[in-house]
Chains A and B, each alone.
Chain A
Amino acid sequence: MADLGDSQLLVRFVTKQEQYAVPDSPIAIQSNVLSSDLNTLLKALLKETNPSLEKVADFDFLICGELLCTSIAEHIQEKGISTEDTLEVEYLERFPAPRPQDCLMHDDWVSAVHTQGNWILSGCYDNSIHIWSTKGQHKLSIPGHTSPVKAVSWVSVTNEQAIFVRYIGKYISLSDEHNAPAKKKSRPEQGKIREPLTTLKGHREAVSGIKWMDFNTVVSSGWDHLIKIWDCELGGLKQEIAGNKAFFDLDWSPLNNNIITASADRHIRLYDPRSTDSIVRTTYTSHNGWVQSVRWSTTKDTLFLSAGYDGQVKLWETRSPKTPLYDLSGHEDKVLCCDWSNPALLISGSCDNTLRIFKSKHALQ
């Protein structure tokens, strides 16, 4: 370790972001430098090559496909790479830290949240649904349910008229324990109860998460340790991925076509539905309690958000399985839901009756 710390390394900086390109020549550096040291080095290089660049954000560094969190030497040793070769260090602009923007008070636990445009829809344990503006104004409160609302989703927002779903299908499926159906959600109009078009039967236990993949494909997760991908046209199962813990939530990203799941342990797991076997691609571990909710970023394929029972909301980079990018703390109790539908807003609802909104600067670009 000691001699590694003293040794010299030849590194070559590469990037996929063209505006930050630097010369391709190898540079010798001490092996015990941290990513902050690399940052200053890179900034100096950038200033040399491209003096026109005025303001440069911080960078993150990828070595061997993993984000650099410790010193290079430790990272290399962990990965088991030879120090003789020239090390290729990819760098990318760091996602800026989200700033807390607002805290929306509810009367009871906030169990579900969804945003679309400038409107936030939240479901609450006091059997009501609330609509807020992104500025934090309470617009509407809709009591109507007889039991806690566990999931909400916007269907569409036209100019002034909001149409949304009081999405209690999950709730129903939770209580129907045996042939738990994944309901095709199509209840567009308020006040009218519609029968489901199709019932997808297959989960043995409660269905916990559901996501449209494309027009007629649905992915769902259940407490029976299974992720199922359904074809709605045929009403049949397309693919099944088995886990070893009950799933609490899942999300699928159209950007990278990967599924992340939250299950009844501390870990977040990344699955690739295209791979034939059900092997977990990456496991992200930082939470101290059950992870209750996960959401992909809609703009960046490598970022996602997770909320856990330890009261933490974490922003993850897929290439950094041990350390999240940011911990969005603030909640005083279990966090039940999170949402990143609006790229600028990171929203989480918790058992402390609050909905917290963090603003992401980067997403506005």
Chain B
Amino acid sequence: MPPYKAGLLKRKNESQESKNSNSEDKNTTSADEGEELVKGFLDDEDDAADSEPEEDEHSDGERDASHFYLLALEVLFEEHDSTLGDDEQENETSEAESSDLTDSEEVEETDEDEGDSSENEEQVSSDSGADTGMAPITTGSSDEAVRKIGGKKKVKQVTKKTQEKKKNNKTSIEIMSAKIQEDKVTAPVQQKGDEYESGDTSDEEDRTNTVGDIPMWWYNEYPHIGYTLDGERIIKPPQRDQIDEFLKKCSDPDFWRTVKDPQTGQDVVLAPSDLRLLERLRASRLPSDTHDDYEPWVEWFSREVLATPLRAFPEHKRSFLPSRSEQLAVSKLVHALKMGWTKTRKEMAAERRKKKERAFYDLWSSSATSATGGARVLPAPKRALPGHAESYNPPAEYLLDNKEMKEWDSLAETPWKRKYTFLPQKHSCLREVEAFPRFIRERFLRCLDLYLAPRAIRMRLTINAEDLVPKLPSPRDLQPFPTAEVLQFRGHTDVVRSCDFDPSGQYVVSGSEDGTLKVWESSTGRCVRTVSLGAAVTRVSWSPAAALCLVAAAAGPRALLLNVQAGAGAHRAARATDRLLAEAPPQHDTRMDERTSSCVEWEEVDATQWAHGIRISIKHFKQLAHLSWHARGDYLAATVTEGASRAVVVHQLSRRRSQLPFRRACGLVQAAVFHPRRPLLLVATQRAVRIYDLVKQELSRKLRPGAQWLSSLAVHPGGDHLLLGSYDRKLVWFDLELSARPYRTLRVHGAAVRAVAFHPRYPLFASGGDDAYLVVCHGTVYNDLLTNPLLVPLKQLAAPAAAGALRVLDLRWHPHQPWLLAAGADGTLRLYS
């Protein structure tokens, strides 16, 4: 039973007992008193021997028991002198005791039962009724049992109230008993006050004789045997002689269990419980009879985690904190490991293994010098020293006898198995030794060896970092390319979104967010014409048809075709254009299917618009993002923002009709551009570029540039290369003949790339964006398929001033000259040359 559990039980018992005692105190008998006296006496004796007499304190039982044992032995084998007078007194008490003692024996028995019942209680937690229920089994009579229980309770009270007893026991047993009676009446109140009181104080307080631990025979000659606390003598009880002893032995039935207290000289009759204790000790058992050796084991502390803590106090802080000393020890170890003073087992094992392994000399290692730093030296193999057999005059035992000669001869086929590589021969003097017959041959072979296998230490390759950089031609050799800004075209009041050169390169058209479209003279920067289109112009594109003078402009949802030179400039071309666009084609030719006509409408152009130069107006269902001409100038690909499957619309001017090339949406379309040479349509979506074959009406290729968001797309005039700009600062060059992966990704910009452009004639391309610079690069494309394009970044040109985050929104090359035009966010166009 765990101690705390026992404690709990005990407290419980006591509470019950206190109740019982309260009720039963009044009808206590004298027999009870006698029993208590005996108990009290015993207690006194115990105390005199520095012991704790509480027998119901199981934890202390062992110590008590040993003491009692010693005491009993002393009693049993000591000769006592006693007087008769005293004896009578004793008898009186003993008679009183004798009647009681039987009871007390039974009491003790019930005490034992009580112990059992307490065990039972522990298991079934029965109430005090169990005690009364159990008692009759051992005693037989119910009223006796009740009385006994009461008595037992009193015994306990006595033991606990030893402090009170100390004062009483100095003179006579009667006084003691009287006192005890008094205590009993008051006891129940104090009973629960302090359960440890008796145990704690008994050591000192119970001691009535103050002489201490001295040999008692010092007092043999005195009438007293010591002193009380008050300094009064303790008078020895009357001594008995042999006859008295004998008489007492004959008359007193309890004589066999009477012992003499050496401290007080009093006779003490051992109680049955003491006797049982002695018996148990002699049988080498635990002194406490309440202890059960075969008590069922309860695993309180097991690995199972309990829902509630088993112990009522919280875990100590120590258990949460890492140990400081351990930490120090570990850090010491770690430091030692770091410094290499000590090694882990693994390392030591590796070292051992390495030591065991055979070390091979790395003949072909790349470094000319060894690991230690010194020059690499190959030590020549050493020959074994010549033995006696090689002597010209070897001792006889080294010469081969007949048997050995036979063996020698038999090994002619396998000479390496012979004992020697030579035949020992005996010469009487060195002079008689003949010349080595193979001397010339071997010297020759040695020389041949040296000649054919020259030994030279390989020198390490020295590689310069510059040699690894690919040889790019100097920008000076790649002229002409634009090197400086020469002209600014001022006039727009808002961000210039787009610009374009006319096919001859003499004019520039630009569209701005201020809703105007301006035509400029490219060499002077003179604004020739301004057309207000009513909506922000997102894209302008001059028709590549040389004979026409037609500009496509994306203003809001409308794609407008303007004859910008009408009334200014190239009259002949303007007139030709007007003639071409004046009459509409026959109606049956312009019919479109429902899907197309739901999103595109060819609007009539009224007179004022015509006067402004607007010749054709095509209204789309959403804002336009991009416009691009087919190389022949008849088709126009328009990209509608958020158009899903209708994002790309192809308009045909000659027949005034539109087509939707795609049935399904293929992503967020950024731009759709016609291939300059072949019937292909290139559609740049957010992540990929799809190339559609317009003849076969199928997707022919899909390119993945690896950029997050494409912004612009330019096709090399040769048609085999593609340049993509992306908002994540990349410039991706695709070789369409090579693969679907980028040929090269240039990271020449520090900010988003918004515009890329190929020069139609020179091997130049340019890119610009939110960066402070435009970058002009050289990009030669070779006709043979084996040579990769040569890309050389040439020049950073200062970009127009930033407006917000934007700087450059469009880039165009002059069709013939190496001039670059940039549409700036600050409302200017800049020409670089």
Interface, chain A (partner B; CB < 8 A): 109, 111, 125, 146-148, 174-178, 204-206, 223-224, 244-246, 248, 264-265, 289-290, 309, 334, 336, 351
Contacts and interface: CB of A to CB of B under 8 A. Distances in A.
A289 B486 contact: yes
Interface stretch (B102-110, B499-507, B674-682): B499-507
B570 interface: yes
A175 B506 contact: yes
Given A109-B524, A264-B833, 10 more contacts: A146-B568, A148-B528, A178-B504, A205-B505, A206-B506, A223-B816, A264-B486, A309-B487, A334-B524, A351-B524
B564 to A, nearest CB: 12
Interface string B479-510: 11000001100000000000000011110000
B529 to A, nearest CB: 10
Given A177-B506, A244-B480, A264 B817 contact: yes
Contacts of B546: 177-178
Given A109-B526, A175-B506, A245 B573 contact: no
Nearest to A265: B833
Contacts of A205: 504-505, 816
- Interface pairs A-B: 10 shortest CB-CB: A177-B504, A175-B570, A246-B817, A290-B486, A147-B568, A264-B833, A174-B506, A205-B816, A147-B569, A175-B569
Contacts of A290: 486-487, 833
A132 to B, nearest CB: 22
Contact of A245 (B480, B528, B567, B570): B480
29 contacts: A109-B526, A125-B526, A146-B567, A147-B528, A147-B568, A148-B526, A174-B504, A174-B506, A175-B504, A175-B506, A175-B572, A177-B503, A177-B504, A206-B504, A206-B505, A206-B506, A223-B505, A223-B817, A245-B480, A246-B816, A246-B817, A264-B817, A265-B833, A289-B486, A290-B487, A309-B486, A309-B487, A336-B524, A351-B526
Interface string B671-711: 00000000000000000000000000000000000000000
A224 B816 contact: yes
Contacts of A109: 524, 526
Dominant SS among interface residues on chain B: loop
B125 interface: no
Interface string B504-519: 1110000000000000
B483 to A, nearest CB: 9
Contacts of A336: 524
A253 to B, nearest CB: 25
A244 B818 CA distance: 11
B703 to A, nearest CB: 35
Contacts of A246: 816-817
Interface residues of B, number: 26
Dominant SS among interface residues on chain A: loop
B490 to A, nearest CB: 11
B523 interface: yes
Contacts of A224: 816
A264 B573 CA distance: 27
A174 B505 CA distance: 10
Interface string B127-144: 000000000000000000
A336 to B, nearest CB: 7
Contacts of B504: 174-175, 177-178, 205-206
Interface in B520-551: 523-526, 528, 546
B68 interface: no
B813 interface: no
B41 interface: no
B819 interface: yes
Between B487, B570, B819, the greatest number of chain A beta carbons within 10 A of the residue's beta carbon is seen for B570
Contacts of B479: 244
Contacts of B524: 109, 111, 334, 336, 351
Interface string B561-582: 0000101111111000000000
Nearest to B817: A246
Contacts of A177: 503-506, 546
A178 B504 CA distance: 8
Contacts of B525: 334
A204 B504 CA distance: 10
Contacts of A351: 524, 526
A175 B573 contact: yes
A51 B778 CA distance: 67
A150 to B, nearest CB: 9
Contacts of B567: 146
A224 B568 CA distance: 24
A85 B817 CA distance: 49
Contacts of A178: 504, 546
Contacts of B503: 177
Contacts of B523: 248
B401 to A, nearest CB: 101
B323 to A, nearest CB: 80
A223 B526 CA distance: 18
A106 to B, nearest CB: 14
Between B505, B565, B567, the greatest number of chain A beta carbons within 10 A of the residue's beta carbon is seen for B505
Contacts of B571: 146
A1 B570 CA distance: 60
A293 to B, nearest CB: 12
A148 B526 CA distance: 10
Contacts of A309: 486-487
B82 to A, nearest CB: 145
A264 B525 CA distance: 14
A109 B524 CA distance: 10
Interface string B820-833: 00000000000001
A309 B524 CA distance: 9
A224 B505 CA distance: 11
Nearest to B816: A205
A57 to B, nearest CB: 38
A178 B479 CA distance: 25
Contacts of B819: 264
